[in-house]
Structure 1
Amino acid sequence: MRTALLVSAVLAGSAFVATPALADDPTAPPSAFTITGSAGVWSQYRFRGISQSNNRPVFQGSVTVAHASGFYLSTWGSSASAGNSTVNIGGSEIDVYGGYTHALGSTGVTFDGGLYGYLYPGAPAGNYYEVYGSLAKTYGPATGKIGVNIAPNQKAFDYYSGANYNVYVYGELGFSVPGTAFSIHSHLGHTGGGFDYTKDYIDYNVGVSYKWKSLTFDVSGVGTNVSHKNARNNPLVDQTGTPSAFQTYRAAKAVVVGSISASF
Structure 2
Amino acid sequence: MSMKLKLVTTAVVAAIAFTSTATSAAGLEGVSSNVGVTSDYLWRGVSQTDGKPAVSGGLDYEASNGLYIGSWVSNVDFGDDSSYELDGYLGFSGEVSSVSYDAGYIYYAYPNGEDLDFGELYASASLSYFTLGLALLAHADGADFADNNYYYAGAAFPVADELEIGAHVGTYVFDAGEDYIDYNIYADYKGVNFMLSKTDLDNDDMKAVISYAWSF
- Do the structures match in fold with TM over 0.5? yes
- Alignment partners' CA distance in 2, 1:131 and 1:42: 26
The structure in which a higher percent of residues are helix is 1
Q: Can you list the C-alpha shifts for 1:189-238, whole angstroms capped at 9, x where unaligned?
A: 00001474xx2100112111111xxxx1111001201123xxxxxxxxxx
Aligned twin of 2:166 = 185
Change (3 A) 1:60 1:156: farther
Aligned twin of 1:238 = none
The one of 131, 151, 155 equivalent to 2:121 is: 131
Change (3 A) 1:125 1:135: same
Paired residues for 1:12-23 under 5 Å? 16=28
The answer for unaligned runs of 5 or more in structure 2 is 1-20
**2:138 and 2:146 in contact (8 A); partners too:** yes
Q: Can you list the C-alpha shifts for 1:161-202, whole angstroms capped at 9, x where unaligned?
A: xx9711100001001113x22111211100001474xx2100
Q: Compute the displacement of 1:114 (Å).
A: 0.7
Q: Secondary structure at the match of 2:74?
A: strand
Q: Are 1:150 and 2:129 matched, yes or no?
A: no
**2:118 and 2:138 in contact (8 A); partners too:** no
Q: Normalised by the size of structure 2, how large is the TM-score?
A: 0.82
Structure 1 residue ranges (4+ consecutive) displaced by more than 4 angstroms after TM superposition: 12-15
The answer for unaligned runs of 5 or more in structure 1 is 1-8, 17-32, 229-251
**1:89 and 1:120 in contact (8 A); partners too:** no
The one of 205, 210, 222 equivalent to 2:189 is: 210
The one of 168, 177, 194 equivalent to 1:219 is: 194
- Alignment partners' CA distance in 2, 1:166 and 1:81: 22
- Alignment partners' CA distance in 2, 1:89 and 1:134: 33
- Alignment partners' CA distance in 1, 2:126 and 2:146: 29
What is the aligned length? 194
Q: Normalised by the size of structure 1, how large is the TM-score?
A: 0.68
Aligned twin of 1:258 = 210
**2:117 and 2:140 in contact (8 A); partners too:** no
Q: Compute the displacement of 1:260 (Å).
A: 1.7
Give the superposed CA RMSD.
2.4
Q: Can you list the C-alpha shifts for 1:54-74, whole angstroms capped at 9, x where unaligned?
A: 100010111110000010001
Change (3 A) 1:57 1:194: farther
Q: Which has the higher contact order (CA 8 A, sep 6+)?
A: 1
The structure in which a higher percent of residues are strand is 2
**1:52 and 1:89 in contact (8 A); partners too:** no
Q: Compute the displacement of 1:82 (Å).
A: 3.4
**1:113 and 1:132 in contact (8 A); partners too:** yes
% identical aligned pairs: 26
